């Protein structure tokens, strides 16, 4: 690994790697593309259905297509979906973005969408949606899958993997702030303490990207949260697992149908003892 300066590491941290084969093709059947303007760039929203809205937010280096497994069950239940391609991801324009900017992008989408029924977020999209919920977005249900707990954690880990050491990583944090990325501002466990929306938080025991301890920590802080630990699904495959999709759909559909309580779900509090690996680590290590 060659030497990298904190300022260069900060810029690299804000550059998501687009998925191979990413195109402007609809991410799921029946998807209607809506181009919004956000900070002088195109922000793409995909919509389908005509019922109460479920907003879906993908993770770092992901796209709206990651959330495709949830679309058909939600539409079949009479709901509609709105899936965003975050800035610098998918069909949206841009080459750099912070999660702080993603918070503003989601708020911008909500101005267009209006009232929502529920939210589903994955990975780094989770602290984004928790911050949006904390600052006034109303929903009847929230689902977090394989969540990141704190933006600061992943930034520090990125700096360490990039070879900066602890001191250099802290310098990188300062450089990020100078670029408008306040990594200390997005703290999902802390923000969750003030939320009253029912939540379902799902994490796999073998997630090597973001430790399931993150999911458990957020669930413990959230006043009305259920923690569901699943097994052997890693960080991405969890989005495609039938029993996960069924659990998410049941949790979201219940309040839509006017049921007084969310369905009871088998949940577990177990955690893996494996250390968390960062979403951005592969990119940092390659420099």
Domains of the chain: 16-149+185-285 (3.40.50.1820)
Type and span of the H or E element at 230: strand 225-230
Sign of CA dihedral 46, 94, 103, 156: positive
Rounded distance, CA 122 to CA 239, Å? 8
Say what the pLDDT of residue 105 is.
Answer: 98
Place of tokens 């994955």: 122
Rounded distance, CA 162 to CA 165, Å? 8
Say which range, 82-86, 133-137, 174-178, 212-216, has the weakest mean pLDDT: 133-137
**What are 141-155's pLDDT values in tens digits?**
999 999 999 999 999
Type and span of the H or E element at 54: strand 53-57
Average pLDDT, the chain: 89
Say what the pLDDT of residue 24 is.
Answer: 77
- The first and second tokens of residue 97, run together, are 């973005």
- Dihedral-angle region of residue 263 (phi above 0 means left; psi in -120 to 50 means alpha; beta otherwise): beta
121 in Cβ contact with 238 (< 8 Å) = no
Mean pLDDT of 15-22: 78
Residues 6+ apart with CB under 8 A from 129: 55, 57, 106, 119, 121, 142, 144
Tell me which residue of 59, 122, 68, 127 sits closest to 89, measured CA to CA: 59
Mean pLDDT of 24-30: 88
């Amino acid at each position: 690994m060659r030497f990298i300066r904190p300022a260069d590491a900060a810029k690299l941290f804000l550059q998501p790697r687009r998925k191979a084969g990413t195109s402007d093709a609809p991410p799921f059947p029946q998807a209607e593309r809506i181009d919004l303007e956000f900070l002088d760039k195109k922000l793409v929203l995909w919509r389908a259905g005509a019922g109460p809205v479920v907003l879906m937010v993908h993770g770092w280096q992901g796209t709206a297509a990651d959330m495709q497994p949830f679309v058909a069950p939600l539409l079949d239940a009479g709901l509609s979906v709105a899936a965003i391609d975050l800035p610098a991801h998918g069909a949206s324009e841009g080459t750099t973005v912070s999660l702080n900017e993603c918070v503003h992008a989601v708020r911008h989408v909500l101005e267009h969408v209006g009232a929502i029924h529920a939210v589903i977020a994955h990975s780094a999209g989770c602290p984004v949606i928790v911050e949006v919920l904390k600052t006034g977005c109303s929903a009847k249900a929230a689902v977090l899958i394989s969540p990141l707990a704190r933006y600061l954690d992943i930034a520090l880990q990125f700096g360490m993997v990039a070879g900066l050491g602890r001191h250099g990583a802290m310098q990188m944090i300062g450089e990020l702030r100078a670029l408008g990325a306040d990594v200390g501002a997005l703290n999902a466990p802390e923000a969750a303490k003030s939320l009253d929306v029912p939540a379902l938080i799902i994490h796999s025991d073998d997630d090597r990207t973001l430790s399931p301890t993150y999911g458990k920590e957020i669930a413990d802080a959230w006043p009305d949260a259920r923690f569901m630990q699943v097994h052997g699904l890693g960080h991405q495959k969890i989005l495609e697992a039938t029993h996960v999709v069924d659990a998410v759909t049941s949790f979201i559909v219940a309040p839509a149908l006017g049921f007084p309580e969310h369905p009871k779900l088998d949940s577990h509090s177990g955690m893996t003892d494996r250390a968390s690996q960062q979403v951005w680590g592969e990119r940092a290590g390659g420099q």
